Amino acid sequence: MTPPSRHLAHRSPRARRRTAVRSAGTVLLPLALTAAALLAVPSPALAEGADSVELPVMAARLAGGADCVKASTRTAASTPWEHQSLELARAAQISQGAGVKVGVVDTGVSAGAPTLAGRVDALGAAGDDCVGHGTFVAGLIAAAPAKGVAFHGVAPRATILAARGTTERGAPSPAYVASGIRGAVDAGAGVIEVSAAFDSRSDQLDAAVAYAVKHDVLVVAAAVPDPPDSTGDTTAPAPRDYWPAASPGVLSVLDVDVQGARPDSALFPVGADLAAPGDGVVGIGPRGGGHFVGSGASFAAAYTAGAAALVRSAFPDLSAAEVARRLTSTAYPDDVPRLDAYAAVASVLDGAKAAGSGAAAHDAAVRMPERAHGERATRTALLVAAGAASVALVVGWASLAVPRGRARSRRRAGRG
């Protein structure tokens, strides 16, 4: 089933706050709400007891001469907003990813990370992660719960297959990523997360993705590159394709913040299949029990790969294409459909939705519009929502007023 054709357009911070979309049924509005009040309903709430601890930032690569990333001495004790957005607590009651191997093609994954201990199989030297980015990604996918810490991965009983897609210091290349994908397929991965996004097509990458599709492995990739550590440029470049996210058969994922929006200067792809938390998300490092914070589409892809592991564990007979279709068809109906891990494992779908058409996942990607079209679509959505609230208000008033009117009529008839 094709995902809802809603578009993600560039917006000002104020517009993003006002136009973030909630899924139907997630918020119950009392009949007393007016249409104007509906427009002020916020997007997914921040975690309870928002964490005020300042965490070190996880970078995608090491600067020239920098030492390997050190252990964080700070811990995030409160529930991250992304956990609530994905409803991980409810999803865990149905599936925790047991029996599924998730390949992580990144900077490597530290086999010594405490919450991944005993569940990391490394290809070659990928069990050592100097940068820390790959371990952070793997933690979002499969980190086990720790005492006194609210953070954990989406699929804490899944196994991680670590594969290098970069140099030891984090510089990616199509050849490294293609080799990592093939290695993870051969090692038995059911899902593969790819963090890198290249601005030019590569025959090696296309062939590696085709190899994964042929072996019924779902490849989940970042729709755009992660943002640089710092930049003074606030101009939004024109949307373009990035690979391997744009390769046929790949589930491409875009990052969004707690409001379901992205910065005005963010990179945009031409198309994307899903959106998932990726701005200011909490994760683990390659050593120690402390936490880091990071932003980027690679982290959104990690959350989606974790959700795919939940689905493959709960529904082992589904093909990779059917898993992708389930993730997109159960997503929040937002500009780009937003991942809902709980709905993906809990929803009862009809045959067409569950199985899909058998087409590659990327063929149904939401296309990015021109800015004006996206803004018009947003305004239309708000007017429809306001209209729905007005109808609800009228219906609620009528349900109270009509019986009272009839009672008055009966009383008058009795007196007559």
pLDDT in tens, 197-215: 999 999 999 999 999 999 9
User: Could you give the number of structural domains in the chain?
Assistant: 1
Evaluate whether residue 223 is within a structural domain: yes
Annotated active-site residue in 110, 195, 298, 313:
298
Q: How far apart are CA 328 and CA 357, in angstroms?
A: 13
Radius of gyration of the chain from its Cα atoms, rounded to whole angstroms? 23
* pLDDT confidence of residue 237: 80
* pLDDT confidence of residue 231: 52
Contacts by 351-357, CB closer than 8 A, 24 or more apart? 352/1, 353/1, 353/325, 353/326, 353/329, 354/318, 354/322, 354/325, 354/326, 355/322, 355/325, 356/1, 356/321, 356/322, 356/324, 356/325, 356/326, 356/329, 357/1, 357/325
Evaluate whether residue 26 is within a structural domain: no
Evaluate whether residue 15 is within a structural domain: no
* pLDDT confidence of residue 335: 84
| Alpha-carbon distances of 78 from 151, 258, 302, rounded to whole Å | 8, 15, 21
Annotated active-site residue in 133, 152, 291, 362:
133
pLDDT digits (tens, 9 = 90+) for 293-333: 999 999 999 999 999 999 999 999 999 999 999 999 999 99
Let me know if 106 is a catalytic residue: yes
Q: How far apart are CA 84 and CA 205, in angstroms?
A: 34
E strands, 152-306, are 159-164, 191-194, 218-222, 250-256, 271-272, 274-277, 281-284, 291-294
Count the neighbouring beta carbons within 10 Å of the beta carbon of residue 141: 30
Asked which of 10-24, 123-137, 239-253, 345-359 is least confident by mean pLDDT, the reply is 10-24
Report which residue type is found at 92.
A
CATH number at residue 158: 3.40.50.200
Average pLDDT over residues 239-250: 96
Q: What is the mean pLDDT of the chain?
A: 78
Q: Cβ distance 248 to 362 under 8 Å? A: yes
Evaluate whether residue 328 is within a structural domain: yes
Annotated active-site residue in 106, 129, 273, 340:
106
The answer on pLDDT for 8 being more than 60 is no
Q: How deeply is 152 buried, as exposed, middle or buried, from its count of CB atoms within 10 A (0-12, 13-18, 19+)?
A: buried
Average pLDDT over residues 38-65: 62
CA angle (263 as vertex; 248, 174 as ends), nearest 5: 35
The answer on pLDDT for 411 being more than 80 is no
Query: Which residues lie below 8 Å from residue 18, measured CB to CB, with a gap of 6+?
Result: 39, 40, 382
Average pLDDT over residues 275-297: 96
Q: Is 140 helix (H, G, I), strand (E, B) or coil?
A: helix
* pLDDT confidence of residue 228: 80
> Which range, 128-132, 148-152, 368-372, 386-390, has the best average confidence (pLDDT)?
128-132
| Alpha-carbon distances of 260 from 21, 62, 129, 336, rounded to whole Å | 7, 29, 31, 9
Structure confidence at residue 140 as a pLDDT band (50, 70, 90): very high
Count the neighbouring beta carbons within 10 Å of the beta carbon of residue 312: 27
Average pLDDT over residues 401-414: 44
* pLDDT confidence of residue 387: 40
Backbone φ and ψ of 172, nearest 5° = -85, 160
Q: Cβ distance 350 to 317 under 8 Å? A: no
Evaluate whether residue 164 is within a structural domain: yes
Backbone φ and ψ of 251, nearest 5° = -90, 110
* pLDDT confidence of residue 377: 31
Q: Cβ distance 271 to 54 under 8 Å? A: no
* pLDDT confidence of residue 334: 87
Evaluate whether residue 392 is within a structural domain: no
* Enclosing domain of residue 212: 45-368
* pLDDT confidence of residue 264: 77
* pLDDT confidence of residue 230: 52
pTM above 0.85, yes or no: no
Could you give the angle at which helices 133-142 and 297-314 cross, rounded to 10 degrees? 30
* pLDDT confidence of residue 330: 97
Evaluate whether residue 206 is within a structural domain: yes
CA angle (191 as vertex; 169, 326 as ends), nearest 5: 135
Q: How far apart are CA 159 and CA 57, in angstroms?
A: 26
Evaluate whether residue 178 is within a structural domain: yes
